[in-house]
């Protein structure tokens, strides 16, 4: 007769307490993430770790404050519902941002709302330091920002998504790739193309801007 296998013993109270303490000190790890939907303390640690960055992520893309707050809550609810299916192919942060990207995109499609809040983006963050310094020397700040947003509108959605995740939301290329659901090499290519297009747009606009300033002086 086959001997029944012993069931794993439940996590002791002390072990669970130490796990929660570690999560609050060092952040939720990949091995803990699947439990945030069933362990309120782990979810509280996960929420506290990511709420500020996630709110900034949403507000940059949604101009309405109340809708941004609702979307942030919806993202965390979606995280709770899907945590048990988490596969550690990316960091918990990139996994959360992947959920956020989908929900924000769905909200934009459903509402037909134009992308808003771009005035909050720092134009200098979208370019390498060397690029930004050269642009700052040739175009005044107001004109640069205006043309920068116009140039961003001409990027493909895929290129713009990676650019914003890296330059604005400060994810690593690997994290941005996981959030966007692509390979890191694909994310690097899209980031390179996006920055190259922005440089070309701003450099093409620079002589016209300089000429206009001279005419006004």
pTM: 0.60
For each of the domains in the chain, give its residue range(s) and CATH number, in order of start: 28-120 (1.10.1740.10), 121-217 (1.10.10.10)
Q: Is pLDDT above 50 for 119?
A: no
Q: What is the pLDDT of residue 9?
A: 46
Q: What is the pLDDT of residue 185?
A: 94
Confidence of residue 21 (pLDDT cuts 50, 70, 90): low
| Closest alpha carbon to 101 in 45, 175, 194 | 175
Q: What is the mean pLDDT of residues 64-81?
A: 89
Q: Is pLDDT above 60 for 138?
A: no
Give residue-wise pLDDT tens across range 165-197: 998 888 999 999 999 999 999 999 999 999 998
Q: What is the pLDDT of residue 74?
A: 94
Contacts of 85 (CB under 8 A, 6+ apart): 34
């Amino acid at each position: 007769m086959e001997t029944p296998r012993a069931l794993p013993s439940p996590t002791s109270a002390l072990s669970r307490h130490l796990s929660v303490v570690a999560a609050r000190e060092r952040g939720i790890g990949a091995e803990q993430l699947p439990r945030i939907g069933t362990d309120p303390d782990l979810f509280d640690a996960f929420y506290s770790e990511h709420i500020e960055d996630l709110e900034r992520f949403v507000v940059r893309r949604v101009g309405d404050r109340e809708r941004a707050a609702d979307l942030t809550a919806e993202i965390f609810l979606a995280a709770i519902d899907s945590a048990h299916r988490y596969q550690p192919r990316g960091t918990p942060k990139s996994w959360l941002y992947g959920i956020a990207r989908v929900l924000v995109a769905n909200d934009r499609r459903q509402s037909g709302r134009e992308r808003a809040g771009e005035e909050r983006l720092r134009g200098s963050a979208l370019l390498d330091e060397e690029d930004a310094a050269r642009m700052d020397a040739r175009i005044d700040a107001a004109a640069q920002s205006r043309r920068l947003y116009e140039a961003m509108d001409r990027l493909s959605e895929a290129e713009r998504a990676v650019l914003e995740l890296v330059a604005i939301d400060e994810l690593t290329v690997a994290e941005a790739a996981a959030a966007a659901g692509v390979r890191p090499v694909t994310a690097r290519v899209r980031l390179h193309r996006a920055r190259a297009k922005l440089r070309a747009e701003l450099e093409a606009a620079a002589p016209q801007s300089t000429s206009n300033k001279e005419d006004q002086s």
